[in-house]
Structure 1
Amino acid sequence: MRKAALSFPFLVSLALGGCVTSAPAPNFGPSPSGQSERSGEITPWALTYGAALMTAKVYPHLAATADANANLFVSPVSLSQGLGLAYLGARGGTRDEIGRVLDWPSVPNAAVPIRAYNAQLSDTGDADITLGIANALWLAKGLPIRDEYVAEARSGFGAAPETVDYAGDPTGAAARINGWVSRETKGRISEIVSPSGFRDDTAAVLTNALYFKAKWQVPFEETETRTFTRGDGTRIPITMMKRIGRFDYRETHEGQAIALPYAGDGSFVMEIFLPRDTAVLRRWEREMKGGDFFAGEQGGNDRFDLAAEQAREMRIILPRFEARFDKSVKAALIAAGMPSAFDQQRADLSGIVSGVRLAINDVAHATFLRVDEEGTEAAAATAVKIVVTSARIEPQVPEMVVDRPFLATLRDRKSGAVLFFGRIADPTAIP
C-alpha cells in the first residue's frame, strides 16, 4: 500500500522517501494532525507530517526572495532535526515557537522517536539505495553544558558531543565541523560553517547531515540535446534523458506530475511537478500548505496525488543535471513563526547550559542534487549556530558558595606566621 509520504514534491521525496521501506514500517497511517492521538506523544507519522508542515511554512519565504534562475530546494528531514536539537534545550516561549514551526508538541520526551525514526529511514532494504542520517553537537571549550541535554541529544538523535575551541582556534573548529559534514555526505557538501563566522561568544553548533543515493528501477538509456527555458525566460541547451515506461501520472489544466521509481519495490520515488507556466509555479510556491505534501493540492481544486493514480505507459524526458543550494534560512524561520529563538533579549535555551544565556545566531542549510541516467545522488546539511548573549562562558570546575559562617586566616606564607584567624559568622557589607 502506498503511503502519503510518497507524494512530497521537490527534494522532499528524496529525503522522506525512506518512510516506506521493505523493513517493518512504523505507523504512518492517516492522522488529522501532526500529533499522536495519544496526547503529548510524537509518533513517526507525526515527524513526517511535522517536517511537511515546517517546509510549507519556510519554503514560501525562501521562494519570495530567490532569484528567478536560482535552484531552491531544502531537506525537511535535515532542517527539522537540526532545529530539533535546539528544541531539546529551548524553554518557555522559545520552545513553544520552535515546536509550532516543527509541529512538535511541548512534551519532555520529544526526542524519543528520532533515533528509531532515522534507523527506519536508513534501512532501505535494497543494496542499490543508500540513505544515511547523522547528528552531532559541537560545544565550545568550557561551556557549562547540562548533562541531561547531552544525554537526551545522544539517546534521541544519536548526536555525539564534541568539544572545539571557537575563540582560540576558529580555523580548527571549522575544519572539524566541515570535515564531519563532508564525511557524512560523501564529500558532496564540503563546507557548512566558516571560521570567520565564529566569535568569542560562539557557544555551540548543532549539525545534521543527510545522504541519499539510489539507482533508477529502470535506467535511462537514450539522451539528446534540447532547449531548457530558465526562470527568467532565457533558453539554454541541455542534455535530456528519455525513456518509455509505466509511471504514476496525472495531468490537469495547471500542469503534469509523474513519479519515477528507484530500485527495489518502488517505495522510493522522485516526483516531478511540472507547472503549465511560470505564473502557476509562482502561485504554487506562494500558496503552499502543509497538506499539499500529502494530498498533493497545487492550486484550486486540482490534485497531484500520484499515489491514487493507476500507472500508465509514458515517455519521460528529463534533464541530466547537478544543482546546489547553500543559504542561511534564518529570515525564513523568523517569518515562519520562531523569532524569539534569534532574539538575544527573549531567547530561552536554558535547557542546554546552566548560568549562561544563549540565542540562535544563524541556521545554515546546504543541499546537493545530481540526477543522471543511472539514478540520483542527494545530500543535505544543517548547522544551527548558538551564541552567548549575556554572560561569558566559565570553565566547568567544582563550586564553593560561601553563604554561611566560616573560618578564615591571614597568613604570611613565607614565614608561616598566622597573622589573623577566626570565624566570620555575620559579615558586614562594605558600603
Structure 2
Amino acid sequence: MKNLQTILSLSVIAAFLLAGCAPAGQSPEPTQPEEPTQPSTEAQDLIGEVAYNPNPRAELDQIKALAEAHNTFALDLYQQLAGEGENIFYSPYSIYMALLMTYAGAAGDTASQMESTLHLPYPQEEIHAVMNALNQQLKANSLVDDEPVFTLNIVNQLWGQAGYAFLPEFLNTLSQHYAAGLKTVDFAADHEAARELINLWVEAQTNEKIKDLIPAGALNELTRLVITNAVYFKAAWLSPFDPANTKNGSFTLLDGSQVEVPMMHQSGSMRAYVSQDVQAVELPYEGGTYSMVALMPTAASLDAFEQALTAESLQGILDQLDRASVTLSMPKFKFEAAFGLNDALKALGMTATFDPLQANFSRMNGTTDLYITSALHKAYVDVNEEGTEAAAATAVVVGLTSAPSQSYTITLDHPFLFLIRDNDTGTLLFLGRMADPR
C-alpha cells in the first residue's frame, strides 16, 4: 500500500456584527439599488442568482500578475509569522482567497487597505474574475490528458446568520467567481451549535486531519458571517524515496543542539542550486506540474536569511535552479500549525477591517456595522518517502538524455524553508519552515 505525501490546509475569516458600532454621523457607502436577501429563520442553503462561471475571461498575463501579487503577500505574511514558534506551515493561497471573498464586501478605506495589503493588480470589478481564472488554472495543472494525477481540492463556503440581510450583489460575486454558497445558521440563538457545524465541515473537507479549527469562544450571538476556504492537496513524489534507505541521522536545531531523526536519501537528476548563501533543491510531484522546493541557508543564520527573504529574492533563487546530479538527504516530518492572523494582517496595513468604528463592509449588507473579529488559519503537513508506481514510471519518461554538468551533495540537516508551488503560474500554495523534525 502506498503512503502518499499529504498536505492539508484550511483558513477561515469571521466577520461579526455589533449594533450601533459605527461613529455618529457616519453613513454607509452608496450601494446598488437592490433589496437585500432576507433568509428565512430555518437553516437553508443560499446561492447568488448568478451561477458559477467555470470559464472566466482573463488573459494569461493577468493570471500571472495576480499570482505574482499573491506571492508578494505570501512572503510579507511569512515575515509576520516567522516568530510564531519553530516549525511554521501555512497556505498563503487559502488565506488570500478567503481575504478576497471578504474584500468583495469591502468599501472605502477598508477596501483600500485590503487592496494595498493584498497587492491587488486590478480593481474590484475585475479582480474576482482573475482570481477565478487563476483557480481554474491551478486545477487544470493537476490534470494530464484530462485525468487527475494528484488531488487538489479548493472549496469555499459562507455561513450567515439566518434572517440577516446580505446584498444580492455580494452573494452573486461569491457564487459566480468562488462557487461559494451561503448556509444559514443561527449564531444568535446557539453560536456553539453553529461552531460545531462549521468545524464538522472543516473535518470533512480535510479528511478529519484538521479538527476544532474555530475554538470555543471565537463566535458569539453577534456573529453574522463566517467565510471559509479549504485547500486539500495530496500528491506522490515523481521520484519517490526508497524507505529502505531511510536511516537515523543528525539534525541541528535552532539552538545548536543536535537530535537523531529519520533521514531520507535519494540520488539522481534534480533541479538544484548551490551558492555560498543557500542550498536549494526541487522535488517534483507526479505529473511534473507541481513541486516542493527546499531552501537551506549555508552562510547566514536562518534568522538573517528569513529577514532578507522577499518575493523577488525568492524568485531569484528559483530562477537559478538547474539540472544537476544530486545526492540528497532530508528528514521525514509531520506537524500541524495554527495561527491567529489578526495581528499579522494589522501589521500589513489592514487595521480598519478589525476596528468596529472604522470597518466598512457595506457591500455585504448596505451598512457599516460589520467588522472582522477573527482571522484563523490551521494547516497540516506530512512528508515521507513513498509515492505510487505511476510516479516512478513517469520519472523515467522525463529523465535526461545526457548527464548533468553539475554535481551536488545536499544534506538538509539544519533548519530550512520549504514551499509547494504550481510551476506554470509560480503560485505558492504552501510555505513553511522545518526547524525540528521530531
Deviation of 1:375 (Å): 4.9
Q: Which residue, out of 273, 291, 300, partners 2:295? A: 273
Structure 2 SS opposite 1:352: helix
- Pair 1:135 & 2:151 matched: no
Cα deviation 1:44-74 (Å, max 9, x = unaligned): 21221121111122211211x323xx21122
Query: Per-residue deviation at 1:119?
Result: 2.5
TM-fit CA distance, 1:28: 5.2
Identity of aligned pairs, percent? 28
Structure 1 CA distance, aligned partners of 2:59 and 2:234?
25
Measure, in 2, the Cα distance between the counterparts of 1:317 and 1:196: 44
Q: Is 1:179 paired with 2:200?
A: yes
Name 2:131's counterpart in structure 1: 114
Letter of the structure 1 residue corresponding to residue 302 of structure 2: L
The one-letter amino acid of 1:173's match is A
Are positions 1:240 and 2:263 aligned together? Answer: yes
2:237 aligned with 1:200, yes or no?
A: no
Letter in 1 for 2:282: A
What letter corresponds to residue 55 of structure 1 in structure 2? A
2:359 paired residue among 342, 347, 363: 347
Moved more, 105-114 or 356-365: 105-114
- Post-superposition Cα deviations, 1:382-420, rounded to whole Å, max 9, x if no partner, equal xxxxxxxxxxxxxxxxxxxxxxxxxxxxxxxxxxxxxxx
TM-score, with length taken from structure 1: 0.72
The amino acid of 2:123's aligned partner reads S
Tell me if the contact between 1:136 and 1:208 (Cα under 8 Å) persists in the aligned partners. yes
1:359 aligns with 2:380: no
Q: Which amino acid aligns with 2:112?
A: D
Deviations 1:194-247 (A, max 9, x none): 342111211111111001111111110020001212222232221111111111
Higher relative contact order (CA 8 A, sep 6+): 2
Matched, 1:61 2:80: yes
Pick the structure with greater CA Rg.
1
- Where structure 1 has 5 or more consecutive residues not aligned to the other structure, the ranges are 1-10, 13-25, 30-42, 296-303, 382-431
More moved, 363-372 vs 225-234: 225-234
Give the SS at the match of 2:127: coil
Q: Give the match's secondary structure for 1:162.
A: strand
CA distance in 1, matches of 2:201, 2:313: 34
Other structure's SS at 1:197 match: coil
Cα-to-partner distance string for 1:73-99 (whole Å, 9 max, x where unaligned): 221110100111110000011101111
Q: Gaps spanning 5+ residues in structure 2: where?
A: 1-6, 9-57, 389-418, 421-428, 431-438
What is the distance in 2 between the residues matched to 1:352 and 1:96? 16
Distance 1:121 1:140 in 2: 32
Tell me the TM-score normalised to structure 2 length.
0.71
Q: Which residue of 2 aligns with 1:189?
A: 210
| Number of the residue aligned with 2:347 | 335
Q: Which runs of 4+ in 1 moved over 4 A?
A: 26-29, 375-378
2:180 pairs with 159, 165, 177, which one? 159
Paired residue secondary structure (1:228): strand
**Whole-angstrom CA distance in 2 between matches of 1:204 and 1:54:** 24
| Residue number in structure 2 paired with 1:384 | none
The answer to whether structure 1 residue 86 and structure 2 residue 102 are counterparts is yes
CA separation of 1:182 and 1:88: change in aligned 2, threshold 3 A = same
Match of 2:69 among 38, 50, 54: 50
- Structure 1: distance between partners of 2:254 and 2:160: 42
Partner residue, 1:227: 250
Distance, in Å, in 1 between the alignment partners of 2:387 and 2:342 is: 32
Structure 2: distance between partners of 1:207 and 1:111: 16
Correspondence for 1:251: 274
User: What RMSD over aligned residues (CA atoms) do the two structures have, in Å?
Assistant: 2.5
Aligned partners of 1:275 and 1:257: how far apart in 2? Answer: 9
8 Å Cα contact 2:240-2:387 kept in structure 1: yes
How many residue pairs match? The answer is 331
In structure 1, what is the Cα distance between the partners aligned to 2:360 and 2:173? 18
Query: Does the CA contact (< 8 Å) of 2:273 and 2:320 recur in 1?
Result: no
SS of residue in 1 equivalent to 2:263: strand
The residue aligned with 2:426 is none
Q: 1:150 aligns with which of 157, 160, 171?
A: 171
- 1:373 paired with 2:385, answer yes
Structure 1 position 107, deviation (Å): 2.8
AA of the residue aligned to 2:72: L
Provide, for residues 314-364 of structure 1, a one-character-per-residue CA deviation record: whole Å limited to 9, x for no partner: 111111110211010110111011111111111101111134511111110
Tell me the distance in 2 between the aligned counterparts of 1:357 and 1:254.
50
> Secondary structure at the residue paired with 2:135?
helix
Distance 1:310 1:355 in 2: 54
Letter in 2 for 1:324: E
Distance 1:332 1:375, change over 3 A: farther
Kept in 2: contact 1:97–1:340 (CA 8 A): yes
